[in-house]
Chains A and B, each alone.
Chain A
Amino acid sequence: MKKDRRDFLHMGAGFFAFNPVDFLARNLCSLSESFCDESEGVENYLLFHLAGAPPRWLFDSPLQPRKSDKRVANPMIVTTFSEKEFNSSRDVEFEYRSTQVGKYLMPHLWSLPTSSSVTYQGQLSKLLDHALIIRGTRMGVDGHSINGRRLVAPNPNGPSITGLLADRSKKDLPAVGMTGSQYPVHVTSLGAFRSQKANSLILISKKSPDYFQELFHSFLEGAKGSQAEEELVEAILSRRDILRPQTVKARSQVKGLLKKDLEKLKAQYKKRFAKYEKIILESKLRRDLKGLTDKAIPGFEKERLTHSDQDNASFFLLDDYFLGDRDLRDALLSMELQGLAQQMALTEFLVVNGLSQTITIDLANPTKLNLDSGYHLDDFDIKKKSFHHKTRQVKIKEGKPKTFTFDSHGSGLIAHHLFSGIFYYTFANCLIEMTETFKEAKDKGGKNLYQKTLIHLASEFGREPRPDLMGSEHGFNGQLNTFLSGAIRDFKIIGNIFDTNKGTPATYYDIGTWGEGAPLDFFKRPLVYGNIASSICAMLGIPSPTPKDPPLVKVAQGQIETLTEECENVIA
């Protein structure tokens, strides 16, 4: 018996010292990748973060996906200008119109034609051929910062989804992020990057005039030593035990980048950039988009209206001004979508060339709107809904008043509809171009890049319309996620929403259907962001940072399938 115990201890100590399980687990991966292939999933993850949470009712937020669904109308929630001509500001009216996409009704915008410089010519709805929309996620708490960070890091103590992917990445640039919005990095999804293997997010600043130059600056120019000298440095530094593994990994990635013909790649990037610049310019200047830019939109004309006509003044509000220009479409002439062309070009470039698989893009809101004159909000009596009779038009100041802020607390219906509408139209065109490019690029197995890519469109929360029609508030219990990927079989919408909000935490009650999350039979409770995070991880084939919240999808034979079909407008 004594001998047995000693043997047992020896054996135990031996096992602990060599730790064969750990040894095997660590080394099998290097012997064959098939041992470490965690699961089948898409490879690339591109998160487009609409920071500031713009209203998405006219874009990808389906409030009445089937004719039979009950939608309680709210005058603030519209999808088109009405069809009649607008001869004066009193004629301006809106409608909620839908278009059939697959078996669902989607906002009217999806029926618009693509921009002429986009490879695919047809309707915008092409983008939804392989798409999954999950609506009605209850974030539980309000705030841009907390919810922006949760998009990638739903567990405050755990790694971020982007960090987990970077850790798994074998690409030269494990994770790339691009700033765009007015928010500091640490309050957006970019700032929530957390890796378990000391990877870091490579950040490109929106202020950079050339994103490619900023990213590859260190590899493009500068002094170089003789080849023999470089080889000797490499021979010494690549010796075992000199540098730690993560330094060796970073150096090998540098070597990988230096081997590439960056000058040639630069020319390729510039071509992609020019392509997106053209799409953006053409999209924002189109004057034939039905229900959006196909007719003149007169600004507010106080002098021509009677006292009671001033009721619709709120339509024209943008921050501190009631817009008074002759045709508000002219505001789009100088509109800038800062960094969008560079963001799209660099994302496409990095994915097509296999340089990165995790890219987070923080989108900027429209700026430099060509707005000239209007009435100041201070001159408006909100209670009486009218101006003082002596009020005159004033010049609109430079800066913020000429920006359509995604966080549109003080944007009336016209700004909501026209400026966010043209942004979505432009953005959707860029996305179609990108997905078509991905479809063209095929790997050795004949699989196209779109099948290996997951595009995620998300914002911190949805928006609740203000009853005074002067803007919208944070709809933190109605967050929306859209996923685009060639691995998604067709177009599907899941997630329940209430027809109106009654008795649940909200800024306003009984304001109609805006997207507030309702319970799903599948979970016997409403969706929370943990479910979305787990779904993203299931699609990417990585472990979820929120394992207690089950996913809504699974991947089978390379196809993303939903585990529930529920998509109801629940009567509150």
Chain B
Amino acid sequence: MRALRTVFTLMMLFFNHVLWSQTQVQTRYGDRLFVGELLLRVFGPDCKTIVEKEVFNKPHIFGGPCDPYSQRLVKVKEGYKTVGPREKCSESFFSQYRADLIVENSPLRSGAIAKVCQSLSQKKACLNHALKGIDKEKDSIEEIFRLFYPIGHERLLGEFKMAFEDVSRKKSIDHKFLLKLFCQSEEWQIL
């Protein structure tokens, strides 16, 4: 009887293990339009050139084909003019048109995010726009965090705060650093 019980338990454990190991949650990352728009919203229109170069023009890293239907021809004096978010389709139109809808995370994506965040946080105009309205004297961790994570992510915020408590004893953390850190944290790209 005892042996039977043990066999039954082991069988249940085995099935549990099989089912557990087959269950997976696929993480979906936002495409270049999602990532680029968010960065432009945070860092402002003056940073368009950097975002365009590092994000909008990299459909192979971030995914997101250009949408020809988002553009339309409008009659002007000299003929016709394309109106719409042209910058997202203009360069190498066909490769962007054929880009994947969804691209998962990769070292290239991580590298590109690290690079664009670094470039943006070193440009004064971008930095000023991002930190506009944030009191320099105050501890504004949450305010800066919310630039990238507008809603939810309470657990992540809590984890960051705990991390700051540990490191702030050794080093001072300024707003510029926080901005760069949250930008590089990458999780905001997840849909």
Residues of A within 8 A of B (CB): 4, 8, 11-12, 15-16, 19-22, 25, 172-174, 184-186, 191, 195-196, 198-200, 202-205, 207, 215, 218-219, 222-225, 228-229, 232-233, 235-237, 239, 241-244, 246-247, 250-251, 253-254, 257-258
CB-defined contacts of A229 to chain B, threshold 8 Å: 177, 180
Q: Tell me if B21 and A204 are in contact (CB < 8 A).
A: no
Report how far A184 CA is from B159 CA in the complex, Å.
43
Closest 8 CB pairs of A and B: A218-B111, A200-B104, A253-B107, A250-B110, A21-B17, A218-B112, A222-B115, A203-B60
Report how far A560 CA is from B94 CA in the complex, Å.
42
Min Cβ gap A213→B in Å is: 13
Report how far A224 CA is from B105 CA in the complex, Å.
22
With contacts A185-B98, A241-B159, A244-B27 taken as known, whether A253 is within 8 angstroms of B180 at the C-beta atoms is no
Interface residues of B in 66-108 (CB under 8 A from A): 92, 95, 98, 100, 103-108
When the two chains form the complex, which single residue of A15, A20, A174, A225 contacts B118, counting CB atoms closer than 8 Å?
A: A225
Extra A-B contacts (9), CB below 8 Å, given A15-B9, A243-B187: A8-B5, A15-B12, A21-B16, A224-B118, A232-B173, A236-B163, A242-B160, A247-B105, A250-B110
With contacts A22-B20, A196-B24 taken as known, whether A202 is within 8 angstroms of B115 at the C-beta atoms is no
With contacts A236-B160, A242-B159, A242-B160 taken as known, whether A204 is within 8 angstroms of B107 at the C-beta atoms is no
Report how far A195 CA is from B111 CA in the complex, Å.
20
Min Cβ gap B35→A in Å is: 14
Question: Which one of B111, B115, B180 has the greatest number of beta carbons of chain A within 10 Å?
Answer: B111
Report how far A529 CA is from B112 CA in the complex, Å.
38
Q: Tell me if A247 and B163 are in contact (CB < 8 A).
A: no
| Residue on B nearest A175 in the bound complex, by CB | B106
Min Cβ gap B50→A in Å is: 10
Residues of B within 8 A of A (CB): 5, 9, 12-14, 16-17, 20-21, 24, 26-27, 54, 60-61, 92, 95, 98, 100, 103-112, 114-115, 118-119, 122, 156, 159-160, 163-164, 167, 171, 173, 177, 180-181, 184-187
CB-defined contacts of B107 to chain A, threshold 8 Å: 172-174, 202, 250, 253-254, 257
Q: Tell me if B100 and A185 are in contact (CB < 8 A).
A: yes
Min Cβ gap A338→B in Å is: 14
When the two chains form the complex, which single residue of A15, A198, A254 contacts B26, counting CB atoms closer than 8 Å?
A: A198
Min Cβ gap A118→B in Å is: 32
| Residue on B nearest A234 in the bound complex, by CB | B184
With contacts A184-B98, A224-B118 taken as known, whether A200 is within 8 angstroms of B106 at the C-beta atoms is yes
CB-defined contacts of A218 to chain B, threshold 8 Å: 54, 108, 111-112, 114-115
CB-defined contacts of B177 to chain A, threshold 8 Å: 229, 232-233
Report how far A25 CA is from B163 CA in the complex, Å.
31
Min Cβ gap A19→B in Å is: 6
Min Cβ gap A506→B in Å is: 33
Min Cβ gap A566→B in Å is: 37
| Residue on A nearest B22 in the bound complex, by CB | A196
When the two chains form the complex, which single residue of B13, B61, B112 contacts A15, counting CB atoms closer than 8 Å?
A: B13
| Residue on B nearest A20 in the bound complex, by CB | B13
Chain A to chain B contacts (Cβ below 8 Å), 25 pairs: A16-B16, A19-B13, A19-B17, A21-B17, A22-B16, A186-B98, A186-B100, A191-B100, A199-B104, A205-B60, A222-B118, A223-B115, A223-B122, A224-B118, A228-B171, A236-B167, A239-B159, A242-B156, A242-B159, A242-B185, A243-B185, A250-B109, A250-B110, A254-B114, A258-B111
When the two chains form the complex, which single residue of A239, A243, A253 contacts B186, counting CB atoms closer than 8 Å?
A: A243
With contacts A11-B9, A222-B119 taken as known, whether A202 is within 8 angstroms of B21 at the C-beta atoms is no
When the two chains form the complex, which single residue of B20, B110, B156, B167 contacts A232, counting CB atoms closer than 8 Å?
A: B167
Min Cβ gap B127→A in Å is: 12
Report how far A385 CA is from B173 CA in the complex, Å.
84
Q: Tell me if A233 and B184 are in contact (CB < 8 A).
A: yes
Min Cβ gap A23→B in Å is: 10
Q: Tell me if A247 and B187 are in contact (CB < 8 A).
A: yes
Question: Which one of B60, B160, B163, B177 has the greatest number of beta carbons of chain A within 10 Å?
Answer: B60
Question: Which one of B17, B110, B112, B164 has the greatest number of beta carbons of chain A within 10 Å?
Answer: B110
CB-defined contacts of A239 to chain B, threshold 8 Å: 159, 163
Min Cβ gap A315→B in Å is: 35
Q: Tell me if A236 and B181 are in contact (CB < 8 A).
A: yes
When the two chains form the complex, which single residue of A202, A225, A241 contacts B106, counting CB atoms closer than 8 Å?
A: A202
CB-defined contacts of A228 to chain B, threshold 8 Å: 171
Question: Which one of A174, A199, A243, A250 has the greatest number of beta carbons of chain B within 10 Å?
Answer: A250
Report how far A222 CA is from B171 CA in the complex, Å.
26
Question: Which one of A218, A232, A235, A253 has the greatest number of beta carbons of chain B within 10 Å?
Answer: A218
Min Cβ gap B100→A in Å is: 7
